[in-house]
Every structure is written in C-alpha cells, then in structure tokens.
Amino acid sequence: MNPIKFHGTGRQFFNIWIVNILLTIVTLGIYAAWAHVRTKKYFYGNTELAGDRFEYLATPKQVLIGYLVMFVLFVLATTPILGTLIMLILLIASPWLIQRSLRFNAQMTRFRGIRFDFKGSVKDAFVSFVVRPLLGVLILLIIAVLLFGFVHLLDIEQSSYLIACICFLILVSLLLLLYYGSWVSKGIYTYVHNNYFYGSEQFNAQYNTNTFFKLNLISVLIVLAILAVPLLFSFGLIATLFEMDELELSLALTARMLTGLTALCISLTLTLAILIGSAYYTCKTRNYTYNQTFIGQDKKYHLSSTMVVGSYIILLVSNFLMVIFSLGLFSPFARVRLARYLASATQVHGDLDELTTKELSMNKTSSIGDAVATGFDFNVNF
C-alpha cells in the first residue's frame, strides 16, 4: 500500500499566497495566471506517492488566455441582450468545456515522467452532464401531472384520507427524485473516473446507483434529524408567546426579540445541519468512488480513500474559525491543512515500482480551447 503524503507547510504557502495577492493587485489581475500556476505547482510538487512527487506542467500563458477570454465574456455578459446569448452559448457548450477542462488538467499532471490523460468524449459528457439531468425536469413534470390527476380523482369529502394520500405521494416522489439525483451522480462519476489514463493504463470504476442513493438518503436524514430538535422547541416557544400577546407593549417587544432569537437559533441549526449532512456526503462519496477505482489491466492498482466524517467536520470548522478570526490572513494555512488531510486519507494499492507503462500519443491540446476551459475550471478533478 502506498499512502499519499503532503509535505507543504502553511508558513511556506503563506509566503507564496501573499506575494501572489500583492502582485495580482499591482498588475491589475494579470498576475492571477502566474499565481494560479505557482499555487498548483506548490500543491502538486508537495504531494508524494511512493517516494515521487507530482508535477503541474501548465504555463502561465495558457492559463492567462483562459482568464482573458473569461473576463471578456463576463464584461459582455453584463449587457442585457448579449448577456442572455452568452449564457445560452455557454450552456450549450458546457459539455465541451467540461471535457476540455478535464483533459487539460489531466495532461498537465505528471508523475514519474508520465503525464495523465483524459479520453472521455464530448458526446458522453453531453449525455452525463446535460441529457441525464434534463430528464429530471421531465420526470418532475410527469410527477406533478400525476399528483394533480390523482387528487382530482379522489373524493374531496374524505379530506383526512386525501391529505394522508397526498403526504404519502409527496414522500414517494421526493424519494424518487433523490433516487434520480443519485442516478445522475452515478453517471457523472462513471464518465469522469473511467476515462483517465496514466500512460497506457486506464482507470476503471464500476458504480451503482443504489449506493449513491443510500448516501444521499442518509445525508438528508441527518439534516432532518438535526433540524427536528430546535424546530419542535421553537414551535413550543412561539405558541407560548402567542398567549402572552395580550399583555402590555414591553412584553410584546421582548417576545419579538425572543422570536428573533429562535430565528437565529433555527438559522444556526440549519447551517450546522447542512454542514454535517454535506460533510457526511462528501466523505462517504469520496471513499466509495475511490475505493471502486482500479488502474490498469487486471485491476493491478487500486485507489482507496479513508475519510472520517467526524475529523473532516472538525477540520472544516476549525479552518473556518481560523480564517474568520484572522480576517482571511490564515486561509493559506487552512488550505494546507485541508490538502494534508485529504492526502493522508488517500492510498494507492499495488507495487508502483513494478509499473512499467509508456505515455501514449495524446490528442494535441489546442491551446486556446483548453485554456478557455481552464478559465472556467470546472472542479470535477479527481
């Protein structure tokens, strides 16, 4: 087993980060391309697998073109008519942009003299990123029509029966929607993780929708369970306050403040619930998708991920507090901590010294197309 190690330190990255910011300000943003490359080089170069480091190969010039195109599009997009047109074009071009971005990032990553590659087709990207999600809208419509029809069919006089029926139907359709979302995720992960190449060795990952559904469902249940407690509490509180409403003005004012307090409580709990729910989903999905990923013929190499929900949440919260109380100055430390944690939770199984592979000829990177995609940098990176 080869654990991935991260050697970067917050202090060192802080220097890179603060110089990046200053130079980006001084050059009115142009240095951002150099900053991007240096940051990537720092994180890749400090990531070690079986004694060797990763390398990031993109040049600032490539990235700068992407940023410039994005900037021009952004400026044009603020004008009313052209803006809608640009949004439409970007939407239609998104599968192409995603595919190019994945390919660019893969080809700019080198390990032991061999570059990664991404060979997924634009057509498959179109299917997994556009067609499958859009089907959902269709399904939603069908569900709505069915529900509506069903309600009309029922006898309205039996209202309690009707409400129970509707609740049941809503529950079923929510579950259906969740299942459908899992199916979309599965499609995306399958597309991304099956088209990477390291030299001639292809990545291979088999996923099934049920596992994604299970993870999604548990995350939703976690959020609901956390929300239930203060919601019940505050309903009780508001109910008591309503009875006091007849009292004098000062009491009513206190009541208003208290409901404000419960509103604050609810929004805090909501934040907490979403944080925990999404942390659970992130950890478990990463573990699952990595553990299913094999590299090379005969599944010779095997990825694994061992993220733990509790420590990941502690990391996120402590990072967040660190960044807030330092007014952003400690964010490089936070990023290094996250990188170190993610590296420590990632392993590659199999003897890498036995791996003999050759770099296959790659689709020539048309620099502008790839750079444009980098500008948008879809973070579907593995």
Applying CB under 8 A, which residues contact other proteins?
7-8, 12-16, 18-19, 21-23, 25-26, 34, 38, 41-42, 45-46, 52-53, 55, 112-114, 199, 249-250, 253-254, 256-257, 260, 267, 271, 274-275, 278, 316-317, 319-320, 323-324, 327-329, 331, 334-335, 338, 353, 355-359
Q: Which is nearer to other proteins, 139 or 338 (CB)?
A: 338
Q: Which is nearer to other proteins, 132 or 335 (CB)?
A: 335
- Note whether 99 and 117 are within 8 A (CB): no
Q: Which is nearer to other proteins, 55 or 124 (CB)?
A: 55
What phi and psi, each to the nearest 5 degrees, are found at residue 5?
Answer: -120, 145
Q: Which is nearer to other proteins, 130 or 272 (CB)?
A: 272
- Note whether 136 and 181 are within 8 A (CB): yes
Residue with tokens 């599944």: 299
Residue with tokens 């948008």: 376
CB of residue 135 to other proteins, shortest distance in Å: 28
CB of residue 15 to other proteins, shortest distance in Å: 4
CB of residue 298 to other proteins, shortest distance in Å: 17
CB of residue 278 to other proteins, shortest distance in Å: 7
Q: Which is nearer to other proteins, 187 or 296 (CB)?
A: 296
- Burial degree of 200 (CB within 10 A; 0-12, 13-18, 19+): middle
CB of residue 349 to other proteins, shortest distance in Å: 17
> Which of 166, 161, 132, 130 is CA-nearest to residue 149?
166
CB atoms within 10 A of CB 18: 12
Residue 16 in tokens = 């890179």
For every residue of 340-357, DSSP letters joined together read HHHHHTEEEES-GGG---
Adjacent-strand bridge partners of 3:
347
Adjacent-strand bridge partners of 293:
205
Q: Which is nearer to other proteins, 160 or 379 (CB)?
A: 379
CB of residue 38 to other proteins, shortest distance in Å: 5
